[in-house]
Amino acid sequence: MSERRSKLNTAVYPGSFDPVTNGHLDIVERAAPLFDRLVVAVGVNPKKPTAFPLPERLEMLREATSHLENVHIESFDGLLVEYASSIGANVIIRGLRAVSDFEYEMQQVLMNKQLCPGIETIFLITSSQYSFLSSSIVKEVSSFGGDVKDLVPPPVEARLRRWSRRQG
């Protein structure tokens, strides 16, 4: 058992987290006990506009995961597998909400395997109450004044309200 445990010591859960939702948090909370260290990595993609700047997304994630001792929040740019390799991670965690997510994720896994065969990807199926949830839909509902308190951690809800006021 100790040999197996040492092989699964660090995992990366990547995403844009714009903003972090309870669906993301569900995956983090379920993945954290499986690894000695779970790095939630906010990807920086200059071609993808975001509602929240990188420092704010990092802060929201730190607030939402502060109760998990082995979870670390970082940012990265460039190829995910290169980043994962640079921090000694041998596993990438991906959340799946629906079958439609699988096709895209499968392409990513195959490319990542081509680039770095030593890194595995583990899919976690989202809990059913979050199967419809995405950052995009949360921003859309919030921008129309909808209640998102059950969809995001409390500090994120307050930020979304401020963001929505700036949008409208």
Residue 165 catalytic? no
- Burial readout 109-126 (b: 16 or more C-beta within 10 A, e: otherwise): beebeeebeebebeebeb
Choice among 24, 57, 94, 139 that is catalytic: 24
Choice among 57, 94, 135, 159 that is catalytic: 135
- Tokens representing 51 are 């509602």
Helix (H) or strand (E) holding 146: none
Residue 164 catalytic? no
Choice among 48, 67, 162, 166 that is catalytic: 48
Residue 24 catalytic? yes
Choice among 30, 37, 72, 97 that is catalytic: 97
Residue 48 catalytic? yes
- Tokens representing 107 are 């392409």
- Tokens representing 45 are 């993609």
Residues with a catalytic annotation lie at 24, 48, 97, 135
